[in-house]
Amino acid sequence: ISQIMVYFALVFGMILIKRKKKMKLVHTINELRAELEVQRKAGRKIGFVPTMGALHAGHASLVKRAVAENDIVVVSDFVNPTQFNDKNDLLKYPRTLEADCELLQKEGAAYVFAPSVEEIYPEPDTRQFSYAPLDTVMEGKFRPGHFNGVCQVVSKLFMIVEPDKAYFGEKDFQQLAIIREMVKQMRFPLEIVGCPIIREDDGLALSSRNARLSNEQRQQALEISRTLFKSLEYAATHTVAETQKFVEDSIAASEGLELEYFELVDGTTLQKISDWNDTDYAVGCITVFCGEVRLIDNIKYKGL
């Protein structure tokens, strides 16, 4: 009898553990705030991973780190319309909430916040964010209004979730720099954690947009990361200008790819460098069209 009691106690314990770990899908701000208030009162630290859904292993790596460093992790799954300056891009952006929730359940997220557009923007957000010169170069130059939309939604999410730490991927290198500046200027009481780029085994940077590539385009897109890795070795014995030309010429010679920009910049200020000695932190940021799909990547030549 005692063995049977022990068995049922173990089974019941496992059920309780599973219940404790069950992730909750939340759609409204009020419900999420109520849930998180309970967690805060219990003294739990809250980690936050903002996403636009269509999750992949890159997002999973952010969630894993957040789970390791916090008691409770919230992941937002919201395609933010204000950061798209191309309406077709917004319409085509993949939306895969059910699959996203399966991934997040496995990774240990406690809450998925998947609001409607009306929930986040009950009225138009007319706030203007300016963090020049960080937001006037590269993406800021080619996608006017993009970073204003990013700052609108991220600031709203920070005010809703009130996390202790928030996690962002370094693939969106310029975005990360701007969000750090926004947090500093708006005095949000949280830590921004940048996480390394996650790549496929063949080197392609993981992106939700990769799902829009055909098999042929997927192979063509590999030349982006290949070129960046080759340029790392090339840069060791060549000038900034020569390295710039090497990358530009390599992409131009690659079938199916069209370079929008490649910039060698100071990793903190995001301003162009002309000599490797101009900075202790040199980064190459690139944006390439593969068909209609716009892909970004970056590589560190010096520093952090």
Closest-CA residue to 70 (of 205, 163, 136, 203) = 163
The dihedral through the CA atoms of 172, 174, 175, 180 has a sign that is: positive
State how far the alpha carbon of 82 is from the alpha carbons of 141, 154, 197, in Å.
17, 11, 25
DSSP class per residue in the chain: -HHHHHHHHHHHHHHHHHHHH--EEE--HHHHHHHHHHHHHTT--EEEEEE-S---HHHHHHHHHHHHH-SEEEEEE---GGG-S-HHHHHHS---HHHHHHHHHHHT-SEEE---HHHH-SS--------TTTTTSTHHHHSTTHHHHHHHHHHHHHHHH--SEEEEETTSHHHHHHHHHHHHHHT-SSEEEEEPPPB-TTSPBP-GGGGGS-HHHHHHHHHHHHHHHHHHHHHTTS-HHHHHHHHHHHHHTSTTEEEEEEEEEETTT--B-SSGGG-SSEEEEEEEEETTEEEEEEEESS--
Residue 59 falls in the annotated catalytic set: yes
For 174, left (φ over 0), alpha (ψ -120 to 50), or beta? alpha
Catalytic pick from 27, 59, 146, 238?
Answer: 59
Enumerate the active-site residues.
Answer: 59
